[in-house]
Amino acid sequence: MRSKLFAALLLSVVATLASADHITCKVVGVSDGDTFTCLTDAKKQIKVRMAEIDTPESKQPYGTRSKQALSDLVFGKQVAVHVQETDRYGRSVGRVHVGDVDVNAQLVSQGAAWVYRQYSKDKSLLVLESQAKAAKRGLWSLPESDRMPPWEWRKAARDQRQEKREASSAPVTEKRPAPAVASSSSSGYSCSVRKTCGQMSSCGEARYHLNECGNRRLDGDSDGVPCESLCR
């Protein structure tokens, strides 16, 4: 009895694992050139990330057209997703087929996607990318300056955001006025001693200390005339 129960449980686990590696669903939404949402027959919503390829981000050149290319291939259609893994965002990452069409490969062939070097295992995708590039299809028709791989574009965007965060969190250093440098004029006046009006010998000396030495206390009413008892 126990052996039969164990065998039944084992078959159940195997069936669950097999179904987890292969999903059939209808595409109900396309997020960008390599991500879409679909519904299973059980009305379970699944987010799918296309495996082994990467498409331009929405703000990159050709980003909108890559999204349209994927939509033309899968939207409203029944797809088979051969799941390779689940990523950190909870998305099912896999190769996608609509009938006999390998959607991942088709996007690369059309020039709507790059081969994602870091995660690609299928070398035939590199051949398709090379052919698309030689024929200047899709994104390969763009100027070279507009063909930044999306993984590099995302890294540059992350680095830029990090620099902004570091700049905003850096302590603000108070700017203090530079101390007055001792100077002397041809008339013999000097900034080495900070004088009051009572210590001035003439209006000329008072004006020198106000204008050359920056001693604003000599101009109490801020009218530009220092020591008015001397400079009437």
Are the C-beta atoms of residues 33 and 107 closer than 8 Å to each other?
Answer: yes
pLDDT in tens, 108-166: 999 999 999 999 999 999 999 999 999 999 999 999 999 999 999 999 999 999 888 88
What's the pLDDT at 217?
80
Question: Which residues, 6+ apart, have CB-to-CB distance to 73 below 8 Å?
Answer: 98, 101, 103, 106, 107
Active site residue 176: no
Catalytic site residue from 2, 65, 88, 91: 91
Q: Which tens digits make up the pLDDT trace of 71-90?
A: 999 999 999 999 999 999 99
Please give the residue that has the higher pLDDT: either 202 or 130. 130
Q: How high is the pLDDT of residue 57?
A: 95
Domains of the chain: residue spans and CATH? 15-151 (2.40.50.90), 180-232 (no CATH)
β-pairing, 92-98 with 78-86? antiparallel
Strands 53-54 and 78-86: unpaired
The residue from 52, 57, 129, 205 that is catalytic is 57
Q: Is 91 a catalytic residue?
A: yes
Is this model's pTM higher than 0.85 or not?
no
pLDDT at 1: 52
- Catalytic, 49? Answer yes
Residues 93/84, Cβ–Cβ less than 8 Å: yes
Q: How many separate helices (H) and strands (E) can be counted in the chain?
A: 6, 8
11-48 pLDDT tens trace: 443 343 344 589 999 999 999 999 999 999 999 999 99
